[in-house]
Amino acid sequence: MRVKRRVKVCSMCKEIRPTIEFGHLEKSPDGLKDKCKKCRVKVRRSKMRVAKRNSISVKTRVCPECKVRKPRHLFYVNVLRKSGMSCHCKSCTKRRAREWRVAHPDYFKRSLRRLELERSYGMTEEEYAHLLKMQNFRCAICKTDVPGGRYGKFHLDHNHDTGELRGLLCGRCNAALGMFCDSLKSVMRAAKYLRNGGVSKKYGFEYVRVSSSKTARCKPAVSKVCERLGDKRKGE
C-alpha cells in the first residue's frame, strides 16, 4: 500500500517540493516521478536544443505518407530520433491525429481528462473517483449532485498559494470562490450582506424587482420612497 506524502525531494534540483509539482508514474513506489515538473521541462528543452542541432544537417526529407520531399521546417522536432525530426510531415501528422480523434472520441476525452489530472494535480482517475465517493458524489459546499460546466465534471479546488487540494466543487461554487479571490473576509461580508437583506433597508429604500416581457426593472415598494424623492405619483 502506497503512503501518501505531501512533499517530496526532487532528484535533480534536490529541493523539497509539494507532491502536486510531480507527475504521476504508476511504476514508482510512491506513484510519482523522481523529477519535479520544472526540472523535467529543463531536461525536455535541452533535448529539444540537441534535436534541433541534429536536424540542421538534414535539409530535406521525404514524408512516407504523402510521398513528397519537403524541407525540414515542415517536420516536427522529435528528440527520440537521431535526425531530430519526426517521420511524417506536419500536415500529415495533423490529418492523422484528426482522423484518430474522430474514430475514437470517447478514448480521446478520457485521455485528455487523465492527462489534465496528472499534469495539474498529480492525481489518477481512481484517486479522483475515491475523493468524489468520500463526498457522497456531491459538491463540498452546496451539496448538489449536478456538477454543471462544459464537461459535466466536478472541479478540483485547491489553495492557490500552497497548491494543496481542498475538495471537489460544482462549477458555480468553484467560480464563486475564484471571484472572491479565496478571501475569507470577502465571503464573510457576503454572508452578512445576505443575512441583513442588503443595504437598501439601511438607507431607507426598499425596491422590488418587477419582471417584464422585455426588460427587468425596479420600482419602489413603499409610498414613503416616493415622498422622499418628491414624486407626487405615489405607488406607481
99 and 145 together in one domain: no
Q: Are residues 167 and 211 in the same domain?
A: no
* Residues 145 and 187 both lie in one domain: yes
Return d(Cα 133, Cα 127) in angstroms, integer.
10
What single-letter amino acid sits at 202? Answer: K
| CATH value at residue 154 | 3.40.1800.10
207 pairs with which residues across the strands? 220
Confidence of residue 209 (pLDDT cuts 50, 70, 90): low
Comparison of pLDDT for 236 and 139, the residue scoring more: 139
Strand 155-158 with 207-210, pairing: unpaired
Residue 119 lies in a domain: no
Residues 188 and 204 in one domain: no
Across 31-40, 139-148, 196-205, least confident range: 196-205
pLDDT in tens, 111-133: 888 887 877 777 778 888 888 89
Shared-domain flag, residues 52 and 128: no
Amino acid sitting at position 230: G
Q: Is the pLDDT of residue 57 over 80?
A: no
Q: With bands split at pLDDT 50, 70 and 90, how would you rate the model's confidence at 94? A: very high
Rounded Cα distance between 145 and 155, Å, is: 13
**Residue 111 is assigned to a structural domain of this protein:** no
Q: Please state, as a whole number, how many other Cβ atoms lie within 10 Å of the Cβ of residue 155.
A: 21
Q: Indicate if 61 and 26 belong to the same structural domain.
A: yes
Mark whether 34 and 94 lie in a shared domain: yes
> What grid cell was written down for 235?
405607488
In DSSP terms, which residues pair with 208 in a beta bridge?
219
Identity (one letter) of the amino acid at 162? T
Confidence category of residue 206, pLDDT binned at 50, 70, 90: low
Q: What is the pLDDT of residue 204?
A: 66
What is the Cα 234 distance to its own chain's centre?
53
More confident residue, 72 or 93: 93
Per-residue model confidence (pLDDT) at position 116? 79
Indicate whether 2 belongs to any domain.
Answer: no
Residue 165 resides in a domain: yes
Examine residue 41 and state whether it is found in any structural domain, yes or no. Answer: yes
> Does 116 fall in a domain?
no
Q: For residues 70 and 143, state if they share a domain.
A: no
The CB density around residue 180, as the number of other CB atoms within 10 Å, is 14
Same domain, 78 and 155: no
Whether residue 112 lies inside any domain: the answer is no
Cα–Cα distance between 66 and 200 in angstroms, integer? 71
pTM of the model: 0.52
Domain boundary among 103, 138, 155: 103
> Given 74, 103, 132, which residue is the final one in a domain?
103
Task: Please tell me the total count of domains within the chain.
Answer: 3
Query: Which 8-state DSSP code applies to residue 4?
Result: P
pLDDT at 141: 92
Residues 149 and 226 in one domain: no
| Cβ neighbours around 33 below 10 Å, total | 20
Which pairs with CB-CB distance under 8 Å and at least 24 residues apart come from 37-42? 37/119, 38/13, 39/10, 39/12, 39/13, 42/12
Range of the domain at 55: 13-103
Last residue of a domain, one of 103, 135, 170: 103
